[in-house]
Structure 1
Amino acid sequence: MCGIAGLYHLSTPKPVDPARIERMCDAMAHRGPDGHGIWTAPGVGLGHRRLSIIDVAGSPQPMASSDGRVMLVFNGEIYNYRELREELRAGGAMFHTDGDSEVIIAAWQRWGPQCVSRLHGMFAFAIYDLEARSLFLARDRLGVKPLFYAALSDGSLIFASELKGLIAHPLLRREVDPLAIEDYLAWGYVPDHRSILTGVHKLPAGSSLLLRHDRALPAPNQWWDVSFAERRKGRAADLEAELLHLLRQAVSSRMVADVPLGAFLSGGVDSSSVVALMAEASGAPVKTCSIGFDVAGLDETSYADQVARRFATDHRARTVSPDDFDHADDLAAMFDEPFADASALPTWRVCQLARETVTVALSGDGADEALAGYRRHAFQHGEDRLRAILPQSLRGPVFGGLGAIYPKADWAPRPLRAKSTLLALAGSSEQGYARAIGVTPPELRQTLYSPDFLRERGEYRAEQPFEAMMRSAPARSGLDRAQYADLRFWLPGDILTKVDRTSMAVSLEAREPLLDHRLIEFAATLPEGLRLKRGQGKWLMKKAMRRYLPDEILYRQKQGFVTPIADWFRGPLAGAARAISSSTSLARTGWFDTRRLGDIAEAHISGRSDHSRLLWQLLMLDKSLIRLAIV
């Protein structure tokens, strides 16, 4: 795992100052503390920070091809590099290292831009071809590894693994995109189709960019997508066996490392499955770690302990407390852009714990998205059945009217919190799922903004690109479209961003075996009833894992990796909640109705409403703006 950065002149090739590339890389030193390198030529500069995982003593970057015609900087891991190396060697390629970086170079020289389809793994890389004078940027299929880029006023394009790498360049403008504020309030993060800064872009997951001198900046080329349009046929037992084979293959391929390796263990289905398959493939005890909370209703460490004992892992645990809020500034520094998934705090803590003994840790991310494991998938499936029975002309006025007058009963038992369901049923399948996955609904956002900001936002709503993605998805059903949007929109924007930044902040490589693209593609073809049956998500996976895990782990209610921020904002953090409306940089932007923000804080502190997620969003936005020196 590493950090990469570079500069490419789209117009006339000009000399590149190596010190400028070095500053961009130094801003991401946490991503690669084991080594660094800079290479420049007329019109181009490449930089690299290295975290040594495979071929520790070799494979320095930037790396040149044996004939000197190609230069590479690479962040990630290619899990099938050994098989590719043998295939390429049979075709005449020569190799001088034992790592995967040189395999990417040889694959580029053999297959050109199409080489990405041969790579199995997580990656973001840049290849400069000295003969063609072209720069090729690519990102892995699911977006596990990030890549930011921006065009500058001097005709150059800069790129880096993190936004802070771009910010280190003096010509980058630090102007907030107002639509990014709308997106962030809706989702709790800035999705991949936008950046917090105007003019900065994120290369989409499964996409590439081929740049040439004296050519305009092209649009990214999407080279991979997942399709839910086909259905796998066969007996359930045969599909279960195939799924288990893919799970084993995904886990074992990610256990290749020349440094200590372990796993995150929450005690949920996904991480427990990964640990079970690691234990099966390993001759030594698996190193595992977990994070608990000092709020009993949110603590899952007893389940993690149960799995650790079952597989005799070398297990360690730690507790997160309200005192950890003191590290909110550290979180803002990790993410650069505002990021309000409160589980980032315990994720960072578990990464810190893992890094004390290992350099690589396997996570359980991805199975919920691929196999319909979230509660919202069951709700979406049921709501779509009702939408199919009742026409929009009836649902809109009836459910919309009821939803408008139904109280937002945050204090009530879950079955009585019907407002969101009523509003979801009033709209289309896409509108309903946007509500299910969003953080701050459009009606509430409308009341937060100042008149000036509302004029600047115009007709744009954050849900529009999400709903468009669902409508155009290669899919057969509403559940298919929901899962597609999870994989293409929510997963790279939220979950993978969280894991990448928190793990890289402590120089830990996190690997996601359940996001192996072969496993994802297989899961997308499963009949709906093998993904979601009688309200039970991940049905086939749980059935396959019963030979390893007890029903108490497989079938208990999904809890999620959450943080007790609601309690915190009513206790030790009440002062921080009140300050949002008056004494913060955010209050000085002019974007919000500060009186309304104050009312929201008091309603939460008094217990009348639960606005903890919104308060956390506003707090993290404020801290990000300070970090970016915007206000």
Structure 2
Amino acid sequence: MCGISGLFDTHGQRPFDRALASRINNIQAHRGPDEDGLHLEPGLALGHRRLSVIDLTTGQQPLFNEDDSVGVVFNGEIYNFQALVPELQALGHRFKTRSDTEAIVHAWEAWGPACVQRLRGMFAFALWDRQQQTLFLARDRMGVKPLHYAWLPDGSFVFGSELKVLTAHPAFVRSIDPLAVEDYFAFGYVPDPRCIYRNAHKLPPAHTLTLRRGDAAQAQPQPYWDVQFINDNPIDLADAEAELRERVREAVKLRMVADVPLGAFLSGGVDSSAVVATMAGLSSTPVHTCAIGFDDPRFNESAFAQQVASRYRTDHRLEIVKSDDFDLIDTLAHLYDEPFADSSALPTYRVCQMARKHVTVALSGDGGDESLGGYRRYRMHLGEEGVRSRLPPGVRSPVFGLLGRLYPKADWAPRALRAKTTFQAMAMDTVQAYHHSMSHLRTEQRQRLFAPAFERSLGGYQSLDVFRQHAARAQTDDPLALIQYLDYKTWLVGDINTKVDRASMAHSLEVREPLMDHPLIEWLATLPSGLKIKGGEGKYIFKKAFEPLLPHGVLYRPKMGFSVPLASWLRGPLAQRMRDSVLSPRMLASGYFNARGLQTLVEQHLGGHHDHATALWMLIMFDAFLRQAQAPAQAVPQAATPAVAMPA
């Protein structure tokens, strides 16, 4: 696991300054503390920060082929590289290392841009072919590893694992994209391929970008893979359970190859528990497991993690984080480079910090909810779809639209009585309704929050357009498959994978996600949706498959999630910080917000009349981003000390 960076002159062969190339590379030294590598030649600079995981002695980068005509900088892991090596050797390629990185170089020589089709893993890489004067960038299918890029005013091209590589370049213009602001206040993150800055981009998952010197101006990302939901696999339940266990076993086994200490996150949820159970069956020694608990019982899953740890006799480490552990706001803003509002980034940072004390590589259960129908919102959406399918839009839209307008917003009421959102969604079409349910701040809330001048600057753009564009490519009319596809393209990449990558890399920890193994994803997409959600039970097939390996109480308990007590924080110890941030001169002068709207949110939340915790947290993190954006780019600061109480 590493950090990559680079500069490319798209027009000619102007030399790049070594000090500049070194500075933008080392701005992400946290991603690779073991070694740094730099290669410069006319019109090109390639940088690499290395976290040594495989082939500790000879895997330095940039890594070149036999005649130094093809080189690569690479972030990630190629899990099938050991199978590729003999195939490439048979084609005449000679290997000088034992690293998976070298397989990429020779795969390019053998298959050109189609090499990505042969790679199984998580990756972002930039490859230079001197003979073809071509720079080739690629990102893995599920977007586990990040890759950012921009064209600079002089026509040169800059790329890096993190956005801070781009902002560290003195020619990069930090002009905020208003469309990204709209997206952020809808989703809580800026979805790919957009960045918070106008001229910066994220290479989308499962895409490549090819730049040829002298012909790079029109270069556009090109897709090389997509998940296709077939949902017509005729397999019976027993065979599906057995095959699912075996496919998970293979995905886990591939990810247990490392030359450094390896372990797993164990939250006590279904997915991480299944990964740990599978690892235990593959390991001759106890699996190292790490868990974070909270001193607030409403958010503490550590007892369920302990059940799994005890069953498999893992070397289990638990740390209890105090419920007032909110001193990471500025650290997170610096780490994520653009506004990011998932408050579970706080405990994710802490569990990565703790895990790194014991292991260098950790397996996680991320991706299971999206592939197997684990979220409560999936079941609610299917219920709404049942009503939509029975009522014509001409009846449904006006009736439920009126109910949605008249029904009061009742944050204080039991969930079953909070019908306003449901009524609003019932008046919408499928894609609009799912966007409504996924929006942190819904359309009317954003309109009240934004200043009229800023609304006009959007030119009619709404974040719904993101979902519309992806839905048009989904090629499925299955209600569950459609929203799973939308989550793959937005939530999983922009929120989950971004959160885990930045939090883990802040501590030089490599996290591997077996449930995002693309052959597993492809196979799951063939299963009928009725095997994923059945009788109101999410992850039905997954839970049935792992019944022999996990306690019933772990498999079938209510989903808790990795949450923090935001509402109480913002009325208690964070109240003054919240007021100072949301109503700061910086926010009021930004031009984005309606000042009276900000004041109302603060007053209503502090008065206990409404729960505006989500909106206020988003505003706090946006203010923290603005403060960072106005400061000179700098390396990630040393990790903050956690507030930890060891369990009795």
TM over 0.5, yes or no?
yes
Deviation at 1:475, TM superposition (A): 1.4
Quote how far apart the aligned CAs of 1:543 are. 0.5
Q: For residue 419 of structure 1, what is the aligned residue in structure 2?
A: 420
C-alpha distance in structure 1 between counterparts of 2:227 and 2:23, whole Å:
37
- AA aligned opposite 2:321: V
Paired position in structure 2 for 1:17: 17
Deviations 1:303-360 (A, max 9, x none): 1111111111111112222442121100111100000000000000000000001000
One-letter code aligned to 2:225: W
Tell me the TM-score normalised to structure 1 length: 0.99
Secondary structure of the equivalent of 1:241?
helix
Deviation at 1:86, TM superposition (A): 1.3
- SS of the residue corresponding to residue 158 of structure 2 reads strand
Stretch deviating more after TM superposition (135-144 or 299-308) = 299-308
CA–CA distance in 1 between the matches of 2:393 and 2:578? Answer: 40
Q: TM-score, normalised by structure 2?
A: 0.96
**Contact 2:582 2:620 (8 Å CA) reproduced:** no
Indicate if the aligned counterparts of 2:324 and 2:569 stay in contact, CA closer than 8 A: no
Give the partner amino acid of 2:168: A
Aligned mates of 2:509, 2:311 — CA distance in 1:
26
Q: What does 1:312-327 correspond to in 2, within 5 Å?
A: 312-327=313-328
Query: How big is each residue's C-alpha offset from its partner over 1:519-573, in whole Å with a ceiling of 9 and x where there is no partner?
Result: 1111111001111101111111111000101111111111111111111001101
Shift of 1:582: 2.5
Preserved contact between residue 150 and residue 201 of structure 1 (Cα < 8 Å): yes
1:103-123 CA-to-partner distances (Å, cap 9, x unmatched) read 111111000000001000000
Paired AA for residue 204 in structure 1 = P
Provide Cα deviations, 1:372-431, integer angstroms capped at 9, x if missing partner: 110111111111111110011111111111111212211111111111111111100111
* SS of equivalent residue, structure 1 residue 340: coil
- Check conservation: 2:262, 2:362, Cα contact below 8 A: yes
Q: Deviations over 1:5-44 (max 9, x none)?
A: 0011111221122221111111000000000011011111
Q: Does 1:585 align with 2:586?
A: yes
Q: CA deviation at 1:240?
A: 1.7
Give CA deviations for 1:75-130 in whole Å, capped at 9, x if unaligned.
Answer: 00000010001111122111111110111111110000000010000000010001
What does residue 51 of structure 1 align with? 51
Distance 1:401 1:630, change over 3 A: farther
What's the counterpart of residue 6 of structure 1? 6
Q: Does 1:179 align with 2:179?
A: yes
Q: Does 2:368 match 1:367?
A: yes
- 2:122 corresponding residue in structure 1: 122
Identity %: 52
Q: Which residue of 2 aligns with 1:188?
A: 188
Are 1:603 and 2:642 counterparts?
Answer: no
Aligned to 1:627: 628
Superposition deviation, residue 285 in structure 1: 0.8
The whole-number CA distance in structure 2 between the counterparts of 1:59 and 1:304 is: 36
Partner of 1:71: 71
Report if aligned partners of 1:259, 1:360 keep a CA contact under 8 Å in 2. Answer: yes
Match of 2:521 in 1: 520
SS at structure 1 position matched to 2:157: strand
> Which residue pairs with 1:383 in the alignment?
384
Report the residue type matching 1:260 in the other structure. P
Deviations 1:567-612 (A, max 9, x none): 1001101112222343252222021012211111121122221111
Matched residues in 2 for 1:125 and 1:581: separation? Answer: 39
Report runs of 4+ in structure 1 exceeding 3 Å deviation.
Answer: none
Please say which of residues 86-95 and 165-174 is displaced more in the overlay. Answer: 86-95
Q: Aligned residue for 2:498? A: 497
1:449-487 per-residue CA deviation (whole Å, 9 max, x = no partner) reads 111111111201011121331243121312111000111
Question: d(CA) in 1 for partners of 2:321 and 2:438?
Answer: 26
Instruction: Please name the residue that 2:637 is paired with.
Output: none
- Mapped contact 2:323–2:564 kept (Cα < 8 A): no
Mapped to 2, the partners of 1:630 and 1:401 lie a distance apart of: 48
Verify the 8 A CA contact 2:231 2:529 in the aligned structure 1: no
Distance of 1:125 and 1:264 partners within structure 2: 26
| Partner Cα separation in structure 1 for residue 514 and residue 569 of structure 2 | 34
Contact 2:3 2:32 in 1 (8 A): yes
Q: How does 1:123-138 map to 2 (within 5 A)?
A: 123-138=123-138
1:33-52 aligned within 5 A:
33-52=33-52
Equivalent-residue separation in structure 2 for 1:14 and 1:155 (angstroms):
11
Quote the residue 1:170 is aligned against.
Answer: 170
Q: Which moved more, 1:484-493 or 1:28-37?
A: 484-493
Residue number in structure 2 paired with 1:85: 85
Give yes or no for contact 2:4–2:25 (8 Å, CA) kept in 1: yes
1:158-557 matched pairs, under 5 angstroms: 158-215=158-215, 216-557=217-558
Counterpart contact for 1:403–1:419, Cα < 8 Å: yes
Which range moved further: 317-326 or 453-462?
317-326
Deviation string, structure 1 residues 201-256 (Cα, Å, up to 9, x no partner):
00000000010011124110000100113521222211221111110001111010
Listed one character per residue, the Cα deviations across residues 54-95 of structure 1 (whole Å, up to 9, x for unaligned) are 001111000110121101100000000100011111221111
SS at match of 2:68: coil
Shift of 1:364: 0.5
Tell me how far apart the structure 2 counterparts of residues 217 and 126 of structure 1 sit (CA, whole Å): 18
Does 464-473 or 361-370 show the bigger shift? 464-473
SS at match of 1:326: coil
Structure 2 counterpart of 1:385, one-letter code: G
SS at match of 1:49: strand
Counterpart code for 2:189 = Y
- Offset at 1:630? 7.3
The SS at the match of 2:327 is helix
SS state at 1:60 partner: coil
User: Which position in structure 1 is the counterpart of 2:155?
Assistant: 155
Q: Read off the aligned partner of 1:85 and give its amino acid letter.
A: V
Query: Could you tell me how far 1:193 is from its partner in structure 2?
Result: 2.5
CA contact (8 A) 1:37 1:62 kept: yes
Q: Which runs of 5+ in 2 are unaligned?
A: 633-648
Partner SS, residue 547 of structure 1: coil
Paired with 1:434 and 1:106, the residues of 2 have a C-alpha distance of 43
What is the rounded CA distance, in whole Å, between the counterparts of 1:372 and 1:31 in structure 2?
Answer: 32
Q: 2:278 corresponds to which letter in structure 1?
A: L
Q: Distance in 2 between matches of 1:551 and 1:77?
A: 34
Is the Cα contact below 8 Å between 2:3 and 2:160 reproduced in 1?
yes
Map of 1:564 onto structure 2: 565
Secondary structure of 2:515 counterpart: helix
Cross-structure match for 1:27: 27
Rate the CA distance shift 1:598–1:346 in 2: closer, same or farther, 3 A: same
Give the direction of change, closer, same or farther, for the CA distance of 1:630–1:385 in structure 2 (3 Å limit): farther
Given residue 178 of structure 1, which amino acid in structure 2 is its aligned partner?
A: P
Q: Would the aligned equivalents of 1:384 and 1:478 in 2 still touch at CA under 8 Å?
A: yes
Distance in 2 separating the partners of 1:570 and 1:4: 42
Greater shift after overlay, 603-612 or 525-534? 603-612
CA distance in 2, matches of 1:356, 1:91: 43
Counterpart in the other structure of 2:112: 112
Q: Which runs of 5+ in 1 are unaligned?
A: none
Contact 1:74 1:126 survives alignment (8 Å): yes
State the distance in 2 between where 1:355 and 1:552 align.
Answer: 29
Number of equivalent positions: 631
Question: 1:103 is matched with which residue?
Answer: 103
Worse overlay, 66-75 or 323-332: 323-332
Q: Secondary structure at the match of 1:580?
A: helix
Alignment root-mean-square deviation, CA: 1.2
Q: Which amino acid is 1:266 matched to?
A: S
